[in-house]
Structure 1
Amino acid sequence: MVLNDRIVAFSELGRFLSQFKNTGYEKISNIMHQEDFFDGMIQKIESAKHHNGWFTEENIVFSLSQWSKTLTKHNLEQWLSSYSLDTITTKTIGIIMAGNIPLVGFHDFISVLVSGHNVLVKQSSNDNQLLPYLASYLIAIEPRFEKRISFTEERFTDFDAMIATGSNNTARYFEHYFGNKPNIIRKNRNSVAVLTGNESKEQLAALGNDIFTYYGLGCRSVSKLMVPKGYDFDLFFRSIYDYNDIINGAKYANNYDYNKAVYLMSNFKLLDNGFLMLKEDSSYASPIATLFYETYGSKEELLQKFEADKEGIQCIVADNFSDNSIDFGTTQHPSLSDYADNVDVIEFLTKID
């Protein structure tokens, strides 16, 4: 199977996913294997929703829709054009996936297969409904993938390299067991937004997407604000008010109530708008329904802080703050070349002996 065959297969998968939008599900007549998989995909969305209470239909379909926009032939060709993939010797790459948001390990899955390797996947029990079905569709499009895709619930034994994502604690376990093989081991990361006080209401409303999508559970979700001393949060609260219906989700509301009670009993000072609490804190990882904030004195001071803390930061959201900052509202719309932890997975896969 040459590279173009793999690109075509994934672009067809993208077309299949384009039928599932938050505005509704709609069959497109010329999608391959439509009749065999469309209704089953709806059932899998329902299964994922009931399996994990954080996986609402809105969040599941948001993920599917983003992948449908990403997996175009043009995007795939552009992404892979700078790599030498023709001379790769096929290896078996293990992937241990996290389960915090729907299809969180899908980029690794795509990267391994499109580069010409075999994939052996161990999913999180929190997110094990969708990917096997998408793999089945991919095999229906391109049957030669069948021998290249495997799932396991057992301990890994026969593999040539490992990509493992987990917490800082599980990373130590991964390093112990997989340290003698080529590996990418990912730890906890969070995203941060830098505010100056000059942002428009539209920019702050877009920041709401970065904060609330997936209930803030993704590593690309903004969990902390950096603000100048004396910052007035009034415009921020007014700009994100349209996200207030997030409190109608039972799991989110329970976390909001619990964390608020803990903070109040501990006499912490809070800013609260009824669905999001702001707490001054030096940490990057904030609990659900809470956004930490910290003040800064100068841009130079902040740049130094981010450099020192770079191993724990996934995205910096700001308005032209630095070369590696991204625009408000874009954290949940990564391109294929936006690698987790800034580690180039395709480059890693081309160098496995």
Structure 2
Amino acid sequence: MQLQQRISAFVKLGDFLSQFSNEVIQKKENVEHNALFFDGFKHQLKLAEEHNGWFTPENIRFAIKSWVDALTHDNLTKWLAPYTMNVTKPKQVAIIMAGNIPLVGFHDFLSVLITGHKVLVKQSSNDKHLLPYLAKYLEYVAPEFKGSIHFTEAKIENFDAVIATGSNNTARYFEYYFKGKPSIIRNNRNSVAVLTGQETEADLKNLAEDIFRYYGLGCRNVSKLFLPKGYNFDAFFNGMYHWHPIIDKAKYANNYDYNKAVYLMSEFDMLENGFLMIKEDPSYASPIATVFYEYYDDLSQLKDKLEADKSQIQCIVSNGFTENEIAFGATQKPQLWDYADSIDSVEFLLAIS
């Protein structure tokens, strides 16, 4: 199967997904195998929502729309242009996926197949309905994929390399268990925002998207703010306000109430606005409905600190602070070439062939 055939298959998958990326699902006439797959995927969306209370229709649609935007011929071609696709003996690559946001492991799945390897997927129990169905669609638009895509709920066996994502604890287990295989092992990371007090109203409204999208469950969600001494929080809370309906979601509200009670009983100082708490804390990982903050004295010293802590950080959101910063509001819109943990998975996959 040639690279252009693989690209074409994923472009067709993007066309199929485009029918489900808006609030009103709309069937299109020119999508291949629609009669066979359209209604079935609607059912899988319903199952995903029922199975995981964090997977609201809005967040599932957002995830799907992100992949619709990514899976174009131009994007796929641009992404792969720097590489020499020379896989002549496909390997079996195991992927152990997280389940914190919908289709969170899709980039790894795409990377393995687009480079010409075979994939063995072990999904999280929190996100198990969407990807197997999309894999079946791929096998229909490109029958050459048959035999190259496998899912398992059992112990992973008979593989040549592995990409595994989990918590800090599971990552240590993965490193031990897979020590004899080529691997990418990912653990917990969080994203931060560096504010100067000069942010516009639009910047802070966009920052709210980085904080609240997917209820803050993703590694690209901002969970920590770095602020200048004397920062005025009024503008920050004004920028957050348009997300206030999030408190109407039961799972989020339960976490908000619980964490607020813990802070109050522990007599921690914190600020809150009825749906978000902010607390001064040196940690990067904050609980749901909470964002930590820390003051800085000097931006150059802050750069040194974040560089020293880079193994804990996924994204830095700022405006003019650092070379690899992410714009306000863009953390959950990564490009295909924005690799998790800054590890080039395509380069890794090509090296094992």
Mind listing any 5+ residue stretches in structure 1 that lack a counterpart? none
- The 8 Å contact of residues 204 and 240 in structure 2, kept in 1 or not, is answered as yes
Which residue of structure 2 lines up, in the alignment, with residue 232 of structure 1? 232
- The 8 Å contact of residues 256 and 288 in structure 1, kept in 2 or not, is answered as yes
- The 8 Å contact of residues 227 and 296 in structure 1, kept in 2 or not, is answered as yes
Give the alignment's Cα RMSD to 1 decimal.
Answer: 0.8
Task: Look up the equivalent residue of 1:103 and give its one-letter code.
Answer: L
Q: In structure 2, do the counterparts of structure 1 residues 156 and 87 end up closer, same or farther at CA, with 3 Å as the change threshold?
A: closer
Which residue of structure 2 lines up, in the alignment, with residue 304 of structure 1? 304
Runs of 4+ aligned residues of structure 1 deviating over 2 Å after TM superposition are 86-89
| Deviation of the 1:20 alpha carbon | 1.2
In structure 2, distance between residues paired with 1:251 and 1:285: 19
| Deviation of the 1:22 alpha carbon | 3.6
| Deviation of the 1:88 alpha carbon | 4.0
* Further displaced range: 247-256 or 24-33: 24-33
Which residue of structure 1 lines up, in the alignment, with residue 276 of structure 2? 276
- The 8 Å contact of residues 88 and 350 in structure 1, kept in 2 or not, is answered as no
- What aligned pairs does 1:125-204 form with structure 2 within 5 A after superposition? 125-204=125-204
In structure 1, distance between residues paired with 2:167 and 2:240: 30
* Further displaced range: 20-29 or 112-121: 20-29
Task: Look up the equivalent residue of 2:62 and give its one-letter code.
Answer: F
Which residue of structure 2 lines up, in the alignment, with residue 207 of structure 1? 207
- The 8 Å contact of residues 87 and 115 in structure 2, kept in 1 or not, is answered as no
* Further displaced range: 40-49 or 81-90: 81-90
Which residue of structure 2 lines up, in the alignment, with residue 46 of structure 1? 46
Which residue of structure 2 lines up, in the alignment, with residue 61 of structure 1? 61
- The 8 Å contact of residues 189 and 313 in structure 1, kept in 2 or not, is answered as yes
| Deviation of the 1:229 alpha carbon | 0.6
Which residue of structure 2 lines up, in the alignment, with residue 25 of structure 1? 25
Task: Look up the equivalent residue of 1:119 and give its one-letter code.
Answer: V
- The 8 Å contact of residues 189 and 312 in structure 2, kept in 1 or not, is answered as yes
- The 8 Å contact of residues 90 and 116 in structure 2, kept in 1 or not, is answered as yes
| Deviation of the 1:146 alpha carbon | 1.4
Confirm whether residue 347 of structure 1 aligns to residue 319 of structure 2.
Answer: no
1:190-248 CA-to-partner distances (Å, cap 9, x unmatched) read 00001000000001000111000000000000001110011011011011111000000
Which residue of structure 1 lines up, in the alignment, with residue 91 of structure 2? 91
1:278-308 CA-to-partner distances (Å, cap 9, x unmatched) read 0000000000000000000111111011011
| Deviation of the 1:87 alpha carbon | 4.1
In structure 2, distance between residues paired with 1:87 and 1:183: 17
- The 8 Å contact of residues 3 and 86 in structure 1, kept in 2 or not, is answered as no
Q: Secondary structure at the match of 2:147?
A: helix
- Paired residues, what number? 353
Which residue of structure 2 lines up, in the alignment, with residue 11 of structure 1? 11
1:89-129 CA-to-partner distances (Å, cap 9, x unmatched) read 21000000011110110000000000000000000000101
| Deviation of the 1:34 alpha carbon | 1.1
Which residue of structure 2 lines up, in the alignment, with residue 218 of structure 1? 218
In structure 1, distance between residues paired with 2:43 and 2:156: 30
Mind listing any 5+ residue stretches in structure 2 that lack a counterpart? none
Which residue of structure 1 lines up, in the alignment, with residue 295 of structure 2? 295
In structure 2, distance between residues paired with 1:34 and 1:87: 32
Task: Look up the equivalent residue of 2:226 and give its one-letter code.
Answer: M
In structure 1, distance between residues paired with 2:61 and 2:37: 16
- The 8 Å contact of residues 97 and 164 in structure 1, kept in 2 or not, is answered as yes
In structure 2, distance between residues paired with 1:24 and 1:87: 41
In structure 2, distance between residues paired with 1:328 and 1:297: 22
| Deviation of the 1:86 alpha carbon | 3.1
In structure 2, distance between residues paired with 1:38 and 1:135: 14
In structure 2, distance between residues paired with 1:268 and 1:82: 51
| Deviation of the 1:36 alpha carbon | 1.2
* Further displaced range: 35-44 or 184-193: 35-44
